[in-house]
Structures are given as C-alpha cells and as structure tokens.
Amino acid sequence: MNHTIYPTTNFKAIEQLTVERGEGCYVWDNKGNRYIEGLAGLWCTALGYGNQEVIQAATEQMGKLSFSHMFGGKTHQVGMDLAEKLAEMIPMQDAMISFGNSGSDANDSHIKMLRYYHQAIGRPERRKIIARDRSYHGVTVASASLTGLPVTQNHFDLPVDALGILRTDHPHYYRGKQGGESEAEFVARIVGNLEAMIVREGPETIAAFIAEPITGASGVIVPPEGYYEKVQAVLNKYGIMFWADEVITGFGRTGNDFGCNTMGIKSPDMMTFAKQLSSAYMPISASAIRRDMYDAMVDQSAAAGAFGHGYTYSGHPVACAVALKVLEIYQRDDIFAKAAVTGEYMQKRLAEFKDHPLVGEVRGRGLLGAIELVANKATGQAFVGGAVGGFAQKAAQDNGLLLRAVAGSSLGFCPPLIITTAQIDEIIEKTAIALDVTLDHCVREKLLV
Ligand SMILES: Cc1ncc(COP(=O)(O)O)c(C=O)c1O
C-alpha cells in the first residue's frame, strides 16, 4: 500500500519512475536502467550524486553535533561560518543571512522581514510586493501567492489578498510581444505598464519587486537586453527594493556566479538561495537582506522580546556543514568557470534544435535552457495544455534522459554543473530522438495546426 501524497503531481495519472541510486550525472531506477540527469534532480544537484567529500562532511557533522538550534541565546560555529561565507560570495555588500529549509520558506521569511523592517522604520504602509506573471517563488501559502502560475493558486483560494501582491508582465518576448513589436518596444511597453501600476497603487505602499533573474519552472524566460536596467531605474525612482530570487540561478548556473551578474542586475536589496546552496545533499535555504535593514530591526526585536520568526531547522548544523563544503568545492575546483564553458557548449548544441519542426524557440544562459514545443512553427501557436510537453518528457525518459516539461510544452534543461561536453552530447542525442518521437505522435494525433 502506498500512503504518499505526491507533490506537484496529477493524482489520476501517476506513472512513476522509482529512482534508486545515483552516481555523478547519472541515476538508476529499481530495474537497473540508467538515466542521464538533464535537470539536476529539480534544478539542484550541482555536484551530481555520490560526492564523497560532501558525504564525509555530513557524516562528520552528524557525529559531532547532529542538531542544535539558533533561537534566542544559542548559536553554533558551522552556522556562523556559512553565513559569513555566503555574505562574502554574494553580490550584496555586507549582507545579513537568515536560514531556512526550502526556497518557499526562504521567500516567506523575506516577506516577513520586509514587513518587520518597514514597521521598524515607521513605514508600515510600504507592504505590497510586485511579482510577475509566470514567476515561480514556491508553494507555501505566502510564496504561492507570489508565484504567477495558475496551477499553484487555483483551488487553493490563493493568492491571499492581505499579502498585497501586485502582478506585472512576464518578460518573455516570444510569448508576450504584440504584433510586430521589436524587443526594445516590448521592454518599453511592459516597463511602462510596471511604472503605471506603481503610480496607480501609490509608490509609498510598495515594498519590493521580486524576480528570478532568469526563470526556471515557468519555462526558462531570459528577459530581453535592457529589461532589468529599465526596471531598476523605475524601482529606484520610487524607492522600491529589488528582490532577486536566485533559488535556481544562484551558484554558477547561468554562466556567472549569480544570475544577477549574468543579467546585469545591480545591487539587489534582498536575495533568496536554496537548491545549489547545498547541491541538494541537504535541504537548506538562505534569505539575504541588506545590513541596514537588519540594523533597523534590532530595537524593535528588543522591544517585542524577540524577532518572532525562525524555524526549528533554521541553520541546521548538518545542512550548514554540507553547504559549507559544497561552497568550498565550488571555489576550490573552479566549478563556476568550468560550468560557464560547458554552458556555452550546451547553448550551442541546444540551438541546433531551432530548425526542428516542433520547436518554436530555444533559449537559455549557461547550463540553464529550454526548448519550447509549438503546434505551429510559423506562427508560434502553443499547444493547448501540457500534454505534448509531458509526452516529450516521457519520450526522453524512455530513452534514458531525465528532463522536465515546464510551462506547458517547454522542455527544461539544467544538468549538474559537473557535466562534461561528452555528456552534453549524450543529452542532445537523446533529446533529438525524444523530439522525433514526439513529432510522430503529434502528426498521428493531428495536434499540429
Ligand atoms: C525561483 C524559485 N524560487 C523558489 C522555489 C521554491 O523552492 P522550494 O521548492 O525549495 O520550496 C523554487 C523551486 O523550484 C524556485 O525555482
């Protein structure tokens, strides 16, 4: 009997792969079949599977101190060391770090810190947050309210109105352009919409704008040139913070250390990390804020008796030890620079699919990419629903490649950062077969228009 309620799953159509073990960039199922990881688990297993140094770091920490919390009056060295290391690595000056267990709860922590901070500085009305259509920021009640994908909100009575989430355009030119609009005109229009909304709502009521520098779960949207520069100019004009959700783009994923650097985002006020922070060997997340935000909260916490937020496992020592080791390996082995090189190679090879009859757009940066499958290549008409993407994902899996269909009919690519060019070739060969199998299916089922 199976008593599991599966996450993000169609309960009626569960056809499962029982994954049993992993080594490097491969996993094996319970029947002994081998699969190459095209999506690093869920955009997270940067160092692949079976890294002995990471395993040893976890084992040693479990033996030394398997748990200690960080609530009022307690700390531990490994947690403080990780906060210091992160503050040193990330593109924020002198950041302060709050630990959590997932990207979702890290984003919740940010929402609460934004409110706490604005109350502390006597600006409680600055509480609304701007999030984009087709964004993914998690699935807790608050983070799902930020997320701009209907499946995470419909039937859950979300978003929560009291959170004051404002929605602005997604920056996907291929899907969002109107008529013969150029990229520059598209950017000008959507940033114009953003500014108009800010003015309409009252800038003094808006705390922050949240964005994944390049999105993941919503189809790997790479905004056009100049988008973030224009967005940041508008936000700066109205004193609204820029909050970078780097849960997928953090730590070498996009050809640079962080997605903000790849996309030219300057001095984010807050940043969210998870996934590759520990290469998914342990669940851990981090919410980074500006030092002056933290400083402003100190007196308020004293007056209240405590900053009343934190999880039992905030700064779990084993997760911190694992993350510290992972960050050490990233730096020692020059993983980000190597991933930038293999990332360029992957983008070049993915681009070869541009001419395939099913492919509408190929996009990405570094070791993060997507191929969008369309019902009509000439017009870009999308398939209805996600069935074709799901079919292609299964066709890849049947051929020994793990990918993920995202945003309906896009196939997401996000292999471990340690992938080699030969392994990228293997992914490309298997993708080519999956696309042809999917094309045959679409022709047979008359799904092309
Ligand atoms: C950009 C982004 N933010 C937040 C999350 C939520 O992270 P988690 O699934 O660890 O809660 C995700 C998950 O994919 C994500 O991609």
* CA angle at 150 for the pair 390 and 161, rounded to the nearest 5°: 160
Q: Is the pLDDT of residue 46 over 80?
A: yes
Q: Percent of the chain scored above 90 by pLDDT?
A: 97
Encoded tokens for 271 = 């940043």
Q: How far is the CA of 393 from the centre of ligand 1 (A)?
A: 20
Q: What is the pLDDT of residue 14?
A: 74
Q: Is the pLDDT of residue 193 over 90?
A: yes
**Which residues lie below 8 Å from residue 88, measured CB to CB, with a gap of 6+?**
none
d(CA 213, CA 246): 7
Final residue of a domain: which of 274, 298, 332? 332
How would you class 274 by CB atoms within 10 Å of its CB: exposed for 0-12, middle for 13-18, buried for 19 or more?
Answer: buried
Domain limits for position 354: 334-444
Residue 353 lies in a domain: yes
- Tell whether the torsion through CA atoms of 185, 189, 190 and 192 is positive or negative: positive
Q: What is the pLDDT of residue 408?
A: 84
Which atom of ligand 1 is nearest to 285's Cα?
Answer: 10
Whether residues 240 and 382 fall in one domain: no
Residue 94 lies in a domain: yes
Q: Is 273 in the pocket of ligand 1 (CB under 6 A)?
A: no
Q: What is the pLDDT of residue 2?
A: 85
Whether residues 347 and 208 fall in one domain: no
Residue 189 lies in a domain: yes
Residue 14 lies in a domain: no
Q: What is the pLDDT of residue 329?
A: 98
d(CA 245, CA 248): 8
Q: Is 283 in the pocket of ligand 1 (CB under 6 A)?
A: no
Q: How confident is the model at residue 385 (pLDDT cuts 50, 70, 90)?
A: confident
Pairing between β-strand 241-245 and β-strand 270-273 as defined by DSSP bridges: parallel
Q: How far is the CA of 376 from the centre of ligand 1 (A)?
A: 31
Residue 241, Cβ neighbours under 10 Å: how many? 22
Which of 136, 273, 311 for mutating ligand 1's site (highest number of atoms within 8 Å of CB)? 136
Between the alpha carbon of residue 437 and those of residues 62, 158, 398, 444, the distances in Å are 47, 38, 11, 11
Final residue of a domain: which of 290, 305, 332? 332
* CA angle at 194 for the pair 188 and 197, rounded to the nearest 5°: 135
d(CA 163, CA 446): 44
Whether residues 293 and 375 fall in one domain: no
Residue 4 lies in a domain: no
Q: What is the pTM of this model?
A: 0.98
Q: What is the pLDDT of residue 127?
A: 97
Count of domains forming the chain: 2
Whether residues 241 and 112 fall in one domain: yes
Q: Is 138 in the pocket of ligand 1 (CB under 6 A)?
A: yes
pLDDT tens digits along 337-351: 999 999 999 999 999
pLDDT tens digits along 80-115: 999 999 999 999 999 999 999 999 999 999 999 999
Backbone dihedral angles phi then psi of residue 394, each to the nearest 5 degrees: -70, -35
Whether residues 288 and 344 fall in one domain: no
pLDDT tens digits along 111-148: 999 999 999 999 999 999 999 999 999 999 999 999 99
Whether residues 206 and 282 fall in one domain: yes
Encoded tokens for 256 = 């640079």
Q: Is 109 in the pocket of ligand 1 (CB under 6 A)?
A: no
Q: Is the pLDDT of residue 328 over 80?
A: yes
Whether residues 261 and 372 fall in one domain: no
Least confident of 287-291, 371-375, 383-387: 383-387
Q: Phi/psi zone of residue 24: left (φ > 0), alpha (ψ -120 to 50 degrees), beta?
A: left
Q: Is the pLDDT of residue 197 over 90?
A: yes
Mean pLDDT of the chain: 97
Q: Is the pLDDT of residue 13 over 90?
A: no
Residue 404 lies in a domain: yes
Residue 375 lies in a domain: yes
Residue 254, Cβ neighbours under 10 Å: how many? 28
Q: What is the pLDDT of residue 1?
A: 61
pLDDT tens digits along 165-186: 999 999 999 999 999 999 999 9
